[in-house]
Amino acid sequence: MIARLVGALCLMAVCVVIHAGGVSAALRMLRRRQNGVRGFWRDTWLFILVAGWMVLLHLSEVCAWAMLYLWKQGMPDLPTSLYFSAITYTTTGYGDLVLKADWRIVSGVESLTGILMCGWSTAFFLAIVSRLQRDGAESRA
């Protein structure tokens, strides 16, 4: 059980690296676009791009967990591993698939990781909205 917990924590660290790299890339893109014409549609398009990017980051993290389940034979095949990982990462947890008892700590770590990464994405999105509102108020003043 300790070995599986250590492995799960290592995969959690991989997810943090994926997310940090993705958020950093998004920040660089946002800084390059900072000095442009502003408006409803341009800002809306920016939100769509950021939301899509965040979803891709989360999907890559779900895939990393699914690969672990597949590699260690926690799930029988790739589609099942992806499905189980997605419902675990998002804490949906339908309960139609379960891991063996000695693997359950791993899925718990995945759920906690998903909560943290989704919270990070939400905070990042909110920071963008706040920045756009502040910049809009400053330009009107």
- The Cβ of residue 57 has, within 10 Å, a number of other Cβ atoms equal to 22
Cβ burial of 8 (10 Å; 0-12, 13-18, 19+) is: buried
Place of tokens 């699914």: 66
- Domain span at residue 131 reads 2-140
Give the pLDDT confidence of 31-68 residue by residue, as tens digits. Answer: 887 666 678 888 888 899 999 999 999 999 999 999 99
> In CATH, what number is assigned to the domain containing residue 52?
1.10.287.70
User: Number of structural domains, the chain?
Assistant: 1
Tens of pLDDT along the chain (141 residues) come to: 899 999 999 999 999 999 999 999 999 988 887 666 678 888 888 899 999 999 999 999 999 999 999 999 999 999 999 999 999 999 998 989 988 888 889 999 999 999 999 999 999 999 998 888 887 666 665
| Radius of gyration, CA atoms only, the chain | 18
